[in-house]
Amino acid sequence: MINDIRASVEADFARVNTLIIDQLYSDVDMVENVGQYIVDSGGKRLRPLLTLLAAASVGEVTEKHITFAAIIEFIHTATLLHDDVVDISTLRRGKPTVNSEFGNAPSVLVGDFLYTRAFQLMVQLDDMRILALMADVTNQIAEGEVLQLVRAGDPETSREQYFDVITRKTAILFAAACEGAVMLSGESDAVLARMHSVGLNLGIAFQLIDDVLDYEGDPETTGKNVGDDLNEGKPTLPLIHAMSHASSEDAALIADSIRQKSVENLNTIVALAKTTGGIQETRRAAVEHCGRVSTALADLPATAARASLEKLAEFSIARES
């Protein structure tokens, strides 16, 4: 399905990939080695794809959009490198994480390289509105990561606090990809707000399904271990809902597992997430946010790019990886 979605911007997507590889160049061997490892690890490049589709939905994809798509991907990849160190993750996309392969220090420092390379590319765009947007966005992402760290091991985390974390940590970059793309196209504030909503709700839906797949995904497909979130003490929506709908004994078991960051009772907790409706409620919330994407897209011209954005929303909730 993702290949069909990409079809309307295939040539531009290839240009983004070429730019990403070119901009990973460094005369420091470690940066080159880690950069090549990242490229070889694959990934859907969903966020740069979203950037291109947003641009194409309102007009022509320009060289500035290609650069901006690479910026979005560099910032995303930098956050992954740092996240995997914080979470002590060992597997991503079915391969050892950078921190597992090269160590924590190279993972953090190459993440810093990618952040700064992104801002070097932003300077080339020579657009203060884009620079202001991305400065705010990267700051909010950092706040989201800190909030997630603070709430790790806290079963008292509320549904509202959970959505606050995933909005800052994940959805805000999706929103920036869409908003920044149409900003570069010279669109009105109304269109910017509409595209911000498209990206934000798509990002929330995407993270909700990520959190579902952590409990019912196939590691061969997702490239991640089942129960990683529980092992890191992350109180995600499947468990937040489960605790509020389970018996006091079962709720206490889930809460204690979150506090202890323990997967000892993983099979029981996965079963509870399903029987209490935690998985179903998380999927329902994802569908609701995808409906908001469709609403925000409704007034855009009926183009192949808009159709691809609608398919991307469908993909975000139907995916298995």
**pTM of the predicted structure, to 2 decimals:** 0.95
Q: What is the tally of structural domains in the chain?
A: 1
Task: Give the pLDDT score at 125.
Answer: 97
CA of 161: how far to CAs of 144, 147, 148, 168, in Å? 11, 9, 10, 11
Burial 128-162 (b: 16+ CB within 10 A, else e): eebeebbeebbebbeebbebbeebbeebebeeeeb
What pLDDT is recorded for position 92?
Answer: 80
d(CA 95, CA 223): 7
Nearest alpha-carbon partner for 102 in 93, 94, 111: 111
Q: Which residues make Cβ contacts (< 8 Å) with residue 121, sequence separation at least 6?
A: 23, 67, 70, 71, 74
How many other β-carbons are positioned within 10 Å of the β-carbon of residue 36?
A: 12
CATH of the domain at 77: 1.10.600.10
Residue pair 92/139 in contact by the 8 Å Cβ criterion: no
Contact 66, 18 (CB under 8 A): no
The pLDDT value recorded for residue 205 is 97
| 31, 115, 117, 258 from 23: Cα distances, Å | 11, 12, 8, 40
Tell me the helices (H) and strands (E) count for the chain, helix number first.
18, 2
Angle between helices 159-166 and 189-216 (to 10 degrees): 110
Provide the domain limits for residue 220. Answer: 2-318
Amino acid at the residue 300: L
Q: Mind listing the pLDDT tens digit of every residue in the chain (321 residues)?
A: 888 999 999 999 999 999 999 999 999 999 988 888 888 787 789 999 999 999 999 999 999 999 999 999 999 999 999 999 998 888 887 789 999 999 999 999 999 999 999 999 999 999 999 999 999 999 999 999 999 999 999 999 999 999 999 999 999 999 999 999 999 999 999 999 999 999 999 999 999 999 999 999 787 777 777 899 999 999 999 999 999 999 999 999 999 999 999 999 999 999 999 999 999 999 999 999 999 999 999 989 999 999 999 999 999 999 887
pLDDT at residue 182, rounded to an integer: 98
Position 43 scores a pLDDT of 77
